[in-house]
Structure 1
Amino acid sequence: MALLLMSIMVLLLILNFPMLVSMIIAPFVVLVQYYPNVNPFLATQQLVGGVSAFVLLAVPMFIFAADIMCAGQTAKRLLDFVEVFVGHIHGGMGITTAATCTLFGAISGSTQATVVAVGKPMKKRLVESGYRDSDTIALIISSAIIALLIPPSISMIMYSVVTGASVGDMFIAGLIPGLLILSFFSVFIYFDSKRKNIPKSATLSKAERMKAFKDAIAPLGFPVIIFVGIYAGIFSPTEAAAVSVLYAVILELFIFKSIKLKDFERIALSTAVVTSAVFILVSAGQLFSWVISYARIPQLLTSSLLGPNPSQLMILVWVTIFFFIGCSFVDSIVVIIIVTPIFFPIAVAAGIHPIHLGIIVTLQAAIGSITPPFGCNIFTASAIFDRPFLAVIKGLGPYLLMLVVISIIIIAFPWLSLVLIS
């Protein structure tokens, strides 16, 4: 049964069918072949039910807010703010890139939006500062993945929809792991730029720093609104998404005046296209998850891999392997929807906290987005920088190694994921 399911999916993908088609047809064939007494209309109900969760309303709103900010001045102001404070040290421009990706990730929740918004203006600055082209691209796409660990991460929302975990707890729990990645990257950039003798930027005056700070006060309000609002219980994650859209409109339309009313049609259309793709995948994923659960494939797979009484460490290692490999071939949303139901029940039964598991899943989704052959950030960077595949992945080695080390740390020390929600 599992072999038939995977064979159909692989065959359809080889024949160049879209992922959503293979995710719908494969489980439907299994359902008809092995469970002819099951009413086929139940499959339709699962497709509809997959996008009925209230928390999914946050996804188009966070995407819309990110699109508004990408069209405006938010990213540039954040870049200037970070640069005036760290640009004068060894690796200052690189650290500026990593820190700005973290800040923008705390606004957009999308790794690809971060690559576009921060990467476009920052790549030229990095090259002019003496960084090699391959190092520059690797730094940008690697730093952009912090967006998936820092709230409001869309991957965290997907995990919560699949498992029923608290979106607010996931957002808060991702803060320390996200900052840990930033710290590792910053230390590496500092010593690597010192070793390569990359020139430092000039130290700016107090007045210039104050001006950059004043310009960034309004954009810095985004993460404050989202994090403090959710942490303090002022509003839910879905309400936070709505507030972020309103704040983005006020900021870019009325305060910065960087966009006009006529631009909203184009921005909204872009948001609608991305949202449609996400929701179709979520709907198809729900059908896929329902069929494999009905067929008890998760229980059969986990029992053969893990044995009757697996340890927490064994479970987390297999989760890491499955998600790392899966997300390097397929979009992380698809992998989260399909693979999470396989491991979630047995992980919880073994005493693993759902939020800790969610952080590990999200971290692997983030790593997968920059892992060859099909990491989404790789192709995003290839498109916006007009660089070939091999040039994009050339400098990724050190960052992937650091992320593997961070994965081991998060697995070994669960309190890093749970201390803020306990």
Structure 2
Amino acid sequence: MLTLLLFISFVILIFLGIPVAFSLGISSFIYLIAADIPLGIAAQKMFSGIDSFVLICIPGFVLAGNLMNTGGITRKIIEFSNAVLGFIRGGLGMANVAASMLFAGISGTALADTASVGGILIPAMIEEGYEPDFSAAVTASSSTVGPIIPPSLPMIIAGTLTGLSVGKLFLAGALPGMLLGFSLMGLSYFISRKRNHPKGERQTLGFIWKTFRGAFWAIFMTFLILFGILGGVFTPTEASIIAVLYAIFVGKYVYKELQFNQIPKVMIDSLRMTAAIMVLVGFANLFAWIMASEQIPQMIAETILSISTNKIIVILMINILLLFVGMFMETIAALVILFPVLLPVATGVGMDPLQFGVMAVLNLVIGLTTPPVGVCLFVAAGISKISLLQASKAILPFLAVSLVVLMLVSYIPAISLFLPSLFGI
């Protein structure tokens, strides 16, 4: 009965429009009061959820991303992507996806990608003659690449929860992220050919090289972080600090667009974003503890395995569950609650933990582009000045392609495990 109260109160709060973090917290407190459990346990469980050395890297990566963005990196990435792809029919749409793939190395979050890249490219696409709904759809769908290609905040959370190597998860997500990005680019090209979208002029090699030099520093940042961690040069937490110093140096002395008097504001914005993430992780950990005390994880696992123990069926059911949850719940909260629950089920049928980590994150970020709580879709629709219904209809083909990539990642282990095995880790 108390478990039912927990879930009903959470669902009601979500539909009332209360943020997911506070919905998790309020519903948890309602349960604790109804169960006559001392409220002091809430503080203990929330603190234990964020008391992790690895999580210290989150404010570092958030700050590094904001510093690089303030330093003009978003515009440099877009210029390079458009220089390479702009001459193709619908090239600006493809450049949108390519920019998201490159921007992933800076932000690691889908929402930051949608707001930054979309804020520049959506108005440009509409001005060039692209439909507003297509512009919103391609921007929202391509933003899901960010949390897959390293560095990735959801991957950091997944590694923290289960003890999996964050570096290995980063590496495991690289190929799936690129596969998703190129698939979305292919769909964008197909739709553009069908709708006769505009194309730009072919640029000279000299101009392409010039724009590449501008975008190079963002690309190099990804390799610096990834191979520094994998090579044992520094930990993920140390990597985040190096990324901050790197972002300040590049923004101030290479691009010369970052001023020292801008840094305090960037730090305050980053602190707000980090605080929101940490509050979410804390409340989600409290919610997850309540679920564990009520043995909900065991019930979920037993329910799945009671239906079938066939690997193909079990993986399919896990995908359906994660996709459904991703439609309503924020990625990090869903990971904290469900990842430790479903990992033993997946590994029990022979799935590699790294592959499952990539599959779980991909599932949940796809939910960021689906109603009713698809925040990336909301942001893209707002920038495009169209209704959510229009954006939802336009994104359906992109969702279909994302789901195909998800199935490939789910059932072909090599897509996730090739790079970790290549590097012998």
- What range describes the TM-score normalised by the shorter chain of this pair? over 0.9
* Aligned amino acid, residue 381 of structure 2: S
Tell me, yes or no, if structure 1 residue 266 matches structure 2 residue 265.
yes
**Cα offset for 1:363?**
0.5
**Cα offset for 1:168?**
0.8
Tell me, yes or no, if structure 1 residue 223 matches structure 2 residue 243.
no
Alpha carbons of 1:334 and 1:262: their partners in 2 closer, same or farther (altered >3 Å)? same
Q: Partner of 1:352 in structure 2?
A: 351
Alpha carbons of 1:224 and 1:305: their partners in 2 closer, same or farther (altered >3 Å)? closer
Tell me, yes or no, if structure 1 residue 172 matches structure 2 residue 171.
yes
Alpha carbons of 1:195 and 1:263: their partners in 2 closer, same or farther (altered >3 Å)? same
Q: Partner of 2:290 in structure 1?
A: 291
1:7-406 matches, within 5 Å, as 7-14=8-15, 17-31=18-32, 41-307=40-306, 310-406=309-405
Structure 2 unaligned blocks of 5 or more = none
Alpha carbons of 1:72 and 1:386: their partners in 2 closer, same or farther (altered >3 Å)? farther
**Cα offset for 1:308?**
7.9
**Cα offset for 1:229?**
1.8
Alpha carbons of 1:301 and 1:325: their partners in 2 closer, same or farther (altered >3 Å)? same
**Cα offset for 1:199?**
3.0
**Cα offset for 1:33?**
5.1
Query: Matched residue of 2:394: which SS?
Result: coil
How far apart in 1 are the matches of 2:350 and 2:357? 14
**Cα offset for 1:123?**
1.8
* Aligned amino acid, residue 358 of structure 1: G
What is the TM-score with the length of structure 1 in the denominator? 0.93
Alpha carbons of 1:350 and 1:167: their partners in 2 closer, same or farther (altered >3 Å)? same
Single out whichever of 387-396 and 275-284 deviates more from structure 2: 387-396
**Cα offset for 1:15?**
5.4
Alpha carbons of 1:184 and 1:153: their partners in 2 closer, same or farther (altered >3 Å)? same
RMSD value, Cα:
2.1
**Cα offset for 1:398?**
0.7
How far apart in 2 are the matches of 1:16 and 1:420? 41
How far apart in 1 are the matches of 2:266 and 2:409? 37
How far apart in 2 are the matches of 1:13 and 1:85? 43
Q: Deviations over 1:366-392 (max 9, x none)?
A: 110001111110122234444332233
Query: Matched residue of 1:200: which SS?
Result: coil
Contact 1:85 1:209 in 2 (8 A): yes
Q: Deviations over 1:343-379 (max 9, x none)?
A: 1222233332211111111111111000111111012
Aligned pair count reads: 420
How far apart in 2 are the matches of 1:140 and 1:13? 25
Single out whichever of 152-161 and 341-350 deviates more from structure 2: 341-350
* Aligned amino acid, residue 4 of structure 2: L
How far apart in 2 are the matches of 1:280 and 1:235? 27
**Cα offset for 1:2?**
2.8
Single out whichever of 210-219 and 272-281 deviates more from structure 2: 210-219
How far apart in 1 are the matches of 2:18 and 2:320? 26
Contact 1:24 1:284 in 2 (8 A): yes
Contact 1:173 1:418 in 2 (8 A): yes
Contact 1:168 1:230 in 2 (8 A): yes
Contact 1:55 1:157 in 2 (8 A): yes
Single out whichever of 241-250 and 312-321 deviates more from structure 2: 312-321
How far apart in 2 are the matches of 1:111 and 1:290? 27
Single out whichever of 300-309 and 335-344 deviates more from structure 2: 300-309
Contact 1:330 1:375 in 2 (8 A): no
Contact 1:306 1:314 in 2 (8 A): no
How far apart in 2 are the matches of 1:20 and 1:121? 29
* Aligned amino acid, residue 330 of structure 1: M
How far apart in 1 are the matches of 2:356 and 2:52? 21
Q: Deviations over 1:246-274 (max 9, x none)?
A: 11111112322212222122211111111
How far apart in 1 are the matches of 2:385 and 2:118? 12
What is the TM-score with the length of structure 2 in the denominator? 0.92
Alpha carbons of 1:16 and 1:102: their partners in 2 closer, same or farther (altered >3 Å)? closer
Q: Partner of 2:3 in structure 1?
A: 2
How far apart in 2 are the matches of 1:9 and 1:209? 51
**Cα offset for 1:290?**
1.6
Query: Matched residue of 2:146: which SS?
Result: helix
**Cα offset for 1:311?**
2.7
Query: Matched residue of 2:369: which SS?
Result: coil
* Aligned amino acid, residue 346 of structure 2: A
**Cα offset for 1:305?**
3.5
Alpha carbons of 1:13 and 1:90: their partners in 2 closer, same or farther (altered >3 Å)? closer
Alpha carbons of 1:93 and 1:306: their partners in 2 closer, same or farther (altered >3 Å)? same
Q: Deviations over 1:311-343 (max 9, x none)?
A: 332332222112211111121111111122331
Structure 1 unaligned blocks of 5 or more = none
How far apart in 2 are the matches of 1:133 and 1:16? 26
How far apart in 2 are the matches of 1:255 and 1:142? 31
Query: Matched residue of 1:108: which SS?
Result: coil
* Aligned amino acid, residue 407 of structure 1: L
**Cα offset for 1:72?**
2.3
Alpha carbons of 1:92 and 1:13: their partners in 2 closer, same or farther (altered >3 Å)? closer
How far apart in 1 are the matches of 2:249 and 2:213? 17
